[in-house]
Amino acid sequence: MPVHNADVASIFDEVADLLDIEGANRFRVRAYRNAARTIGQLSQPVADLLAEGKDLSELPDIGDDLAGKIEEIVETGTLSLLDELEQQTAPALADLMRIPGLGPKRVRALHEALGLTSAEELKRAAEAGRVREVEGFGEKLEQTILDRLEAAGAEERRWLLATVEPVVESLVAHLEAHDAVEQIDVAGSYRRRKETVGDLDVLALSDDGPAVVAHFVEYEDVDEVVQQGDTRSSVVLRSELQVDLRVVPPASYGAALLYFTGSKAHNIRLRDRAIEDGLKLNEYGVFRAEDDDGERMAGATEEEIYDLFDLPYIVPELREDRGELDAAADGTLPDLVTRDDLRGNLHTHTTDSDGRASIEAMAEAARARGLDYLAITDHSPNVAVAQGLDADGLREQIDAIDRLNDELDGIRLLKSIEVDILKDGSLDLPDDVLERLDLRVCAIHSSFDLPEDDQTERVLRAMDNPLFNIWAHPTGRRLNERPPIALDLDRLMEAAVERGCFLELNAQPERLDLSDVYCQRAKELGLKLALGADAHWESGLDALPYGIDQARRGWLEADDVLNTRPWSEIAPLFDR
C-alpha cells in the first residue's frame, strides 16, 4: 500500500487539529500545519525520497522529529501519535472546526460544557438553545452556528477560474463606477491564477472607506452581507460566491495588494525576512520594528516593498512559497512563458469526431489568434460517444489535410490524432496509419479505476510504442467532478524523459492537467510539455491563456513548452 504525500499531509493536519483542540502549544500546532503544507505540495513522493536515502529534515519546516514521524507513516501507514490523540479527544471534534466561526477554543468549550462530539449533536444543542448558555457564547453566536451548519450541507465549494471571470468583470465595473474609487484589483488566488478560487478578494484604492463599502454592499448581485466595517466587508453573491472587499489608501496600496494576494505562506516568509532585517511588514507597509508609529519605509507599490528587501519583483503566480524567495534572492527567478510565446496548438477536435467546427473553421480561428500551426487531433474509435475516427476515416482526414495545406495561407495544419491508450497499453489504431501522421497524442478515456500499479504499467507499455509522442491530460482529472486516476506519475515522467515522449498540459479550465506542482516537477526532470487547448470549437482555443497561467504557476519558461517553438524545430522530436 503506497503512502502518498497527501496521506502524510492529512495525518499531520489531523494531528494539528486535535492538538489545537487540546490546547497544546500553538507553535507546536503550527509546526504540524506547516509540515502538512510542505509535504502536501512536494512534487516528489516522500516515500521515494526516503527510498533514495534522502535526509527529510533538510526539507523546510521538517526537523528531526517530524522526519522520524514521516518515516513512521511511510512504513506503517499510520502515526502512533495520532492514534493516541484520537483516544484522548473525539476525532469528530476536528470536523467541527470546519464550521466557520468555530475554532479550537470554542469547539473545546462546547465539548467540555455540553459533551458534544459531532455536528449533528451541535445542531440539536443549538436548536434547543443550550449553546447560548455556554460561557463565551450568546444568542447571536448560536444562531450563526445554526446558519453555518445549514450552509455546510452545500460543503465548501471552489470555483473554476473561468467561471468567476465574468463575475469579476461585472463586479469590478460596479465598483469602478463610484467616484471615490481610484483603482480596483482582484487579489487572492484569482490574481495568483490558481486553477480554482474559494472566494474573491477585492482591493479598492480610495480615501473614503465607508462610502466604498456602502457602495459595495449595494451591488445588485449581493444576497447576504456577512460583515460590514469602515474598511472591510464580506458579502455572499446569489451564486453563493463570497466576495471580500478591503478599502485602502494610496500610501499602503502596494502593501495591501501584496498582503491580500498571498499566498499566506509567501507572506509569512516575507514577514520573517522583515523581522530578520529589524523591520515589520503588515498590510499598511514596511516599518521599523521598534517604533510603533514610525515612518513608513515602503508600501505604495509591491515593487518598492520587494526592492526594500533587495528582491526583484515576484509575479503573483509564483507566490506559493515553493522556492520563489530563494530564487529571487539568488537572481534565478524563471523568465516565465507568456501567451505571446505560443506558436501553435497541439490538441484540436473537429466535426470529424466530437468537435463542433470544421477543420477549415478551426484553422481560421487558430490563424486569427496568431498561431502558426494547429494539430488536428480527433478521437479514435474507442471513444464511441465521440464517434472517433477509425483507420479509414483517419486516412481520409489525412488526405483532406494535405489538400487544405496546399490551399491555406498563414497557418499549417498538422496531421495528428488523439488516440486511446487501451486497457492493455496498446494504441487504438494500427501502426501503419499512425505512422502517416506528423505526431500522435495519446490519452486514457476508459478503465479509469485500475489499481495504481496496473494503470502505471498500462501507460508504460503504451510509451514503449515508438509512435507514442504526447500523453494528453495525464491524470484525467476534472476539477470539482472527477479525481485524478491512480498513477505513479513521477515514475511515468521519468519514463517519458528516457523514451523521448512528452506530456501535455491540457489548458481546458476544468482540466488544467498537469497540475502546477507536476509542471514544476517536469521542469526539474527536463521533461518538455505540450500545451494543448483541447479545443472542440473555435472559442475553445481561448482556453490557451488558462494553460499559460498554470504553466507559469509551474515555473515553466518558453523553452519548457514545446509549442513555443516553430514546427520545423519540434517536428524531429516526434520521430523517435
Cα distance between residue 137 and residue 151, in whole Å? 20
State the binding string over 50-79 for DNA (x if CB under 7 A, else -).
-------x--xxxxxxxx------------
Grid coordinates given for 415 = 496531421
102 or 492: whose CB is closer to DNA? 102
Cα distance between residue 507 and residue 523, in whole Å? 17
State the binding string over 367-406 for DNA (x if CB under 7 A, else -).
----------------------------------------
37 or 412: whose CB is closer to DNA? 37
Interface stretch with DNA, choices 178-186, 227-235, 293-301, 409-417 (CB under 7 A) = 227-235
Residue 230 makes contact with DNA by CB under 7 A: yes
Nearest residue to 174 via CA among 123, 230, 140, 212: 212
Angle between helix 5-22 and helix 26-40 axes, rounded to 10 deg: 170
Residues 79 to 118: which contact DNA by CB under 7 A? Answer: 81, 97, 99-107
21 or 492: whose CB is closer to DNA? 21
Residue of 72, 224, 283, 354 interacting with DNA (CB under 7 A): 283
Name residue 470's beta-bridge partners. 441, 502
Cα distance between residue 301 and residue 305, in whole Å? 7
Q: How far is CA 272 from CA 88, 277, 315, 325, in A?
A: 35, 9, 19, 11
Please state the φ and ψ torsions of residue 312, each to the nearest 5 degrees. -70, 165
Residue of 10, 163, 282, 351 interacting with DNA (CB under 7 A): 282
64 or 464: whose CB is closer to DNA? 64
Residue 370: which region, alpha, beta or left (left: phi > 0; alpha: psi -120 to 50)? left
State the binding string over 175-204 for DNA (x if CB under 7 A, else -).
-------------x----------x-x---
Residue 297 makes contact with DNA by CB under 7 A: no
Residue 251 makes contact with DNA by CB under 7 A: no
Residue 499 makes contact with DNA by CB under 7 A: no
Please state the φ and ψ torsions of residue 525, each to the nearest 5 degrees. -85, -5
Residue 244 makes contact with DNA by CB under 7 A: yes
State the binding string over 259-278 for DNA (x if CB under 7 A, else -).
-x---x--xx--xx-xxx-x
Nearest residue to 418 via CA among 510, 356, 314, 347: 347
Place of cell 499531520: 12
Half-sphere exposure of 552 (CA within 13 A, CB side): 23
DSSP state of 385: G
State whether the Cα torsion 81-82-83-86 is positive or negative: positive
Q: CA-based angle 437:441:444, to the nearest 5? A: 140
Which positions ≥6 away from 490 have C-beta within 8 Å? 43, 44, 45, 48, 521
At closest approach, how far in Å is the CB of 272 from DNA? Answer: 6
67 or 164: whose CB is closer to DNA? 67
At closest approach, how far in Å is the CB of 20 from DNA? Answer: 8
64 or 454: whose CB is closer to DNA? 64
107 or 493: whose CB is closer to DNA? 107
DSSP state of 400: H
At closest approach, how far in Å is the CB of 251 from DNA? Answer: 14
Residue 127 makes contact with DNA by CB under 7 A: no
206 or 465: whose CB is closer to DNA? 206
Residue of 7, 142, 185, 510 interacting with DNA (CB under 7 A): 142
At closest approach, how far in Å is the CB of 185 from DNA? Answer: 14
Residue of 10, 163, 231, 301 interacting with DNA (CB under 7 A): 231
Site size toward DNA, by CB under 7 A: 63
Cα distance between residue 415 and residue 434, in whole Å? 10
Residue 228 makes contact with DNA by CB under 7 A: yes
State whether the Cα torsion 21-27-30-31 is positive or negative: negative
Residue 436 makes contact with DNA by CB under 7 A: no
Cα distance between residue 453 and residue 475, in whole Å? 14
For residue 80, say if its preceding peptide bond is cis, omega within 30 degrees of 0. Answer: no
255 or 519: whose CB is closer to DNA? 255
Grid coordinates given for 147 = 446558519
Nearest residue to 347 via CA among 547, 157, 195, 153: 547
34 or 382: whose CB is closer to DNA? 34
Binding site for DNA (CB under 7 A): 25, 27-28, 30-32, 34-35, 57, 60-67, 81, 97, 99-107, 132, 135-142, 144, 188, 199, 201, 227-232, 244, 260, 264, 267-268, 271-272, 274-276, 278, 280-284
